[in-house]
Copies of this chain bind each other. A is one copy, B any other.
């Protein structure tokens, strides 16, 4: 528990998003995702849904604007254009945090697994909504000011 950061930010989550560099990806996935089969760094967010997790992560983690799309959601195999309400809700949360339009690409289930394997970490959630799985690419923080001491 820290003064300025809510306790739902676990120590491992803070470590991971701070340790990630430009181009590294983080997966945010639903409760049915085979996280341990695909990833070595599995970070549980108990009681959090994917939209909340996306809002948490993007409050601190910048989204890439060098290479777009920098954000992805999972869609059913063979139906990449199917609409899911959770996809729109997640995108809204990310766009609000970034203050700009963020293009998302759709990855069919098998392709999502293949892309997600390379992610720096996966955040597992309690979300039961189907295809509520996302991949975000970290961007850069641009500043010419010297580092400030207080967060």
A residues adjacent to B (C-beta < 8 A): 1-12, 14-19, 21, 52, 55-56, 59-62, 97, 140-141, 147-151
Contacts and interface: CB of A to CB of B under 8 A. Distances in A.
B141 A1 contact: yes
A3 to B, nearest CB: 5
Nearest to A142: B1
Contact of A149 (B19, B59, B141, B151): B59
B15 A150 contact: no
B2 A18 contact: yes
Nearest to A6: B147
Given A2-B17, A97-B150, 20 more contacts: A1-B18, A2-B61, A3-B61, A3-B62, A4-B59, A4-B151, A5-B18, A5-B151, A6-B148, A7-B147, A8-B149, A9-B18, A9-B151, A11-B14, A12-B15, A14-B15, A14-B18, A15-B15, A59-B150, A59-B151
Nearest to A58: B3
Nearest to A55: B149
What is the total number of copies of this protein in its complex?
Answer: 2
Central interface residue in A7, A11, A62, by most chain B CB within 10 Å: A11
A38 to B, nearest CB: 23
The interface centre, meaning the residue of A1, A4, A9, A10 with most chain B CB atoms within 10 A of its CB, is A1
B15 A60 contact: no
A21 B11 CA distance: 11
